[in-house]
Chains A and B, each alone.
Chain A
Amino acid sequence: METYTLTVNGEQKRVTVDPGSPLLWVLREDLKLTGTKYGCGIAACGACTVHVGGVATRACVLPVSLVGDRPIVTIEAVANDAVGRVVQDAWVSEDVVQCGYCQSGQIMTAVALLKSTRRPTDADIEQSMGGNLCRCGTYVRIRAAIKTASRHLAGGVR
């Protein structure tokens, strides 16, 4: 067991865990942040997506020992950010979710996309969201929500 100080959603958190523990399980069990989901454990589905040092990252394969001092942002804090808020609102206005289990990861990925590309094309959306799995099949609504968010962001939300 080792002790790590992680910066999560702007706060410093100390955890004492096995160094090989994936960040996903440290977030969920030690920090009680269960918004980030376990879907597969092999980075195949994207349900575990968080932002680490500003990069969309699959927490299920990231051992906590490799995080370092890079700040972590989870779904619980996405609304603290202007882009995050617009994306969440678009997800609600477009009525994207069904079971909702994959959607934390979808939103975290979409936020990262829109932070880097304000006006993603259909091809951009399909490539950037292309590794996030949804068994309820909400893909066409995800596309629509990203476009809605993009329009709002282009309209001047900073």
Chain B
Amino acid sequence: MKTLQSVAVVALLVSAVSRMATIQGAERPQLPAPASSQARRAEGLEAWGRVYSVLTHPRCINCHTATNYPQQGDDRHRHQFNVVRGREDRGVAAFTCATCHQGSNADSTGVPGAHNWQLAPLSMRWQDQNDRILPSSEVCKAVTDQSRNHHLDGPGLLKHHEDEALVRWAFQPGRRSDGTERSLPPLTHEQFVAATRTWVEAGSPCPPR
């Protein structure tokens, strides 16, 4: 009986290991010691807090607007020159994001760029109609709602934070035309990915309203 039980426990552990290995793709990280669900949740919420601090930094949130325009600058003012969202979040005919923004930063002229420069869809707005940043609980809800986030589950979100060009851009945002560097989010990209991982592994908990 005891042998069967230990076999069962081992089997459970093995399957848990292989499930986690699947979640994290090619990487095989160290398994955290199994913790109580409360502690996991607390850890996850703390990690989410760090993720939120990046998402709401101007380099990210300037394109996650609720309006028909992006923002620009550390003061997040409305993007100048009457640029508008357009039906597909990349501007309007003859006046697209690509009219000025290229596939990489144009440091000599001070225009930021990354592959596929465009606004986040309205479903991924992290501000209200008055350009005020939404609270942590609401942003978390938006980010984890698969009907709004292009069907990304936890691993999908992690991959998005790791690989998406526009996300990576925020951590290498280039120079302004006066030669000064744009301000960076509070975490490095690696830290951001690590925080996301911790949060995802904890089950992507969201803080209460």
Chain A residues at the B interface, C-beta cutoff of 8 Å: 19-22, 41-44, 49, 55-58, 60-63, 66, 109-113, 116-117, 120, 124, 127-131
Nearest CB on B from A4, distance (A): 14
Given contacts A44-B80, A58-B100, A66-B102, contact A127 B108 (CB under 8 A): no
**Contact B102–A62 (Cβ < 8 Å):** yes
**CB–CB A55/B81 < 8 A:** no
Q: Which of B83, B95, B102 contacts A109 (CB 8 A)?
A: B95
Measured as residues with beta carbon below 8 angstroms from the partner, the interface class of chain B is 20 to 34
Q: Tell me whether B177 and A127 are in contact (CB under 8 A).
A: no
Q: A61, B94: Cβ atoms under 8 Å?
A: no
Q: CB < 8 Å: which of A44, A55, A109, A110 contacts B98?
A: A55
| B104 close to chain A: CB less than 8 A | yes
With contacts A60-B109, A62-B109 known, is A55 near B80, CB below 8 A? Answer: no
* Given contact pairs A43-B100, A127-B84, A61 touches B109 in the complex (Cβ within 8 A): yes
Contact: A116 with B94, CB < 8 Å?
Answer: yes
Alpha-carbon gap, A116 to B91, bound state (A) = 13
Are A124 and B93 closer than 8 Å at their CB atoms? yes
Q: Which of B103-162 contact A (CB under 8 A)?
A: 103-104, 106-111, 113
- Residue from B82, B102, B109 in contact with A131 in the complex, judged by beta carbons closer than 8 Å: B82
Known: A44-B81, A131-B81. A66 touches B96 (CB 8 A): no
B104–A110 CB distance below 8 A? no
CA distance A85 to B113 in the complex (A): 33
Bound Cα distance A43, B98 (Å)? 12
The contact of A58 among B86, B93, B99, B107, by CB within 8 Å, is B99
Do residues B93 and A20 form an inter-chain contact, with CB atoms below 8 A?
A: no
With A22-B109, A61-B110, A130-B84 as contacts: A66 and B99 at CB distance below 8 Å: no
Instruction: Tell me the minimal C-beta distance from B115 to chain A in angstroms.
Output: 12
Task: Knowing A127-B84, A131-B81 are in contact, say whether A56-B103 is a contact too (CB < 8 A).
Answer: no
Contacting pair B103 A113 (CB below 8 A): no
Report A-chain residues with C-beta under 8 Å of the C-beta of B84: 127, 130
Task: Pick the residue among B81, B96, B103, B104 that contacts A43 (CB under 8 A).
Answer: B81
- Max chain A C-beta neighbours (<10 A), residue from B84, B96, B102: B102
In the complex, A21→B86 CA distance in Å?
A: 30
Chain B residue contacts of A43, Cβ below 8 A: 81, 99-100, 111
- The yes or no answer to B92 lying at the interface (CB within 8 A) is yes
Contact across chains for B93 and A113 when beta carbons are under 8 A apart: yes
